[in-house]
A and B are shown apart, each in its own frame.
Chain A
Amino acid sequence: MTVGLVLDPTSTRDDDNPSPGPDAGPLAGKRIGIRRDNIWRAWDWISELWAAKFRAAGAEVSFWRCFGRSGEEGERMERELAAWLATLDVAVVGLANCGSCTGWTIRDAITAANAGLPTTAVATKNFEAFAHTIARRGGRSGLRVHVLPYPLNEQEREVVDAVGESHFAGLLEVMGASLAAAERAA
């Protein structure tokens, strides 16, 4: 046996901000942005349902939908995202429901969090651990992630709507958001 030294082939990146970022706080009067993508119709349905609840709580809601992330389309997406984030008080970013779309969901959520916005990413259960891994690799290990069940997009609308209803309270908890007493009663 010949023992010697070998060189480590790996590279690491150690920078990290473990903070979850600020709480969303009371939602009344705030501008909440919801990021959508071009693939998960279940996320369209749930985000539509949640938007109605945010509006009922006195918030304004705007949507931004991302498409391709390369070439001129990708550059347009970057410009649109930056401009949209500048109009917001709170960001809800989804949907992490595949490999690349989890990557881009988390990447856009980190962009929002690094801009100082109270930010929550939304992932399905199968991609929860991956979402946290990618957040850590992206330098925001404490990023807030709300988890929906999986599989989701394969379900019928009534099933998905029920998921949206049952997960709204949990979403608010992860966001650090609160509703006024009258809104909670409603």
Chain B
Amino acid sequence: MSEGPEVTLPLDGWHRAQGARMVEFAGYSMPIQYEGIIAEHRWTRASAGLFDVSHMGQLIVAGAEAEKGLESLLPADLAILKDGRLRYSLLLNDEGGIVDDLMATRRGDHFYVVVNGATKAGDIAYLEERLPRGVVLDHMKEQALLALQGPKAVDVLARLAPGVERLGFMTGGAFTLGGAPVWISRSGYTGEDGFEISLPSGRAEAIAELLAGQEEVKPIGLGARDSLRLEAGLPLYGHDLDPETTPIEADLGFAISKRRRAEGGFAGWHRIFREIEEGPVRRRVGLAVEGGQPVREGAAVVDSDGDEVGKVTSGGFSPMLEAPIAMAYVPAASAEPGTEIRLVQRGKIFQAKVALMPFVPHRYHRKGAA
């Protein structure tokens, strides 16, 4: 983590005025909670939550070779990605390790890429080093990013930006919101239907005020963002994913498109191809932890002799299941749902079972689905 002073984001004063408790995160001062994590979590699943994720990096990758350049580092099939559509993908190193996870959208003649806040400086350096000459990378520091998530997000946003209701999951478009030009995609990090809104920083406060002023909406802090994504089975970079972990180990094989699997040609392909063929040594799984006590990141997965064979990478309490849940890396032979797993935290043994993820069903708005 950075040692320097915390940097202020466009909505800093607004969060404080809403009664947020602020903490340092990714070098920024960010709201961890307003009224309380459990209340905010349940509100998001029942209605609509407004998240400020302006710490994330919003990048433009442009130029004739942008698609080819990105395909050399991401395992996504960008060639078949239609205009206005986005993909979850992974920035890879030459060993097949995950440098970051991201969302890439084809937007006219360029790609719009959203990366994690804590990793954006490293990502930019890596992309600048690896993308071919002629590909232009622009970090849009003047853009803020909001997410509106939950079953009522569509009602709220359709009222303020008509037309967004026609977006399907993982598609986006240009809209006007509160008089400002914005880019809205139907995507998010909670497992709920919802939207992510890229907007000019100078308009962030007015738009946050407009959205939070709708009766279905409350502001939600990073605490509930984390518990929501954990229930949704979504990995958090720097915790569940890192440069030593491959997409196959991380159970993110879906992010490796069919054509890319067959053709390869992206960083780390040889190792990833081998793991697809032979299976990985370890795998990310969900755990349902017995008893009521949460098991946290860093707890050890142990075998019957008590030897460490894996690690818990995220753990907490599920407000919807009212039980402790976790993500962990376990030996591949122990990754089947229902397998008994033994954990050790602060000298105490916990029993857990491998659980299917998501822990709480996704409710994305997929076109063609009911």
Q: Report if A and B associate in a common complex.
A: no
Mark A residues whose CB is within 8 Å of B: none
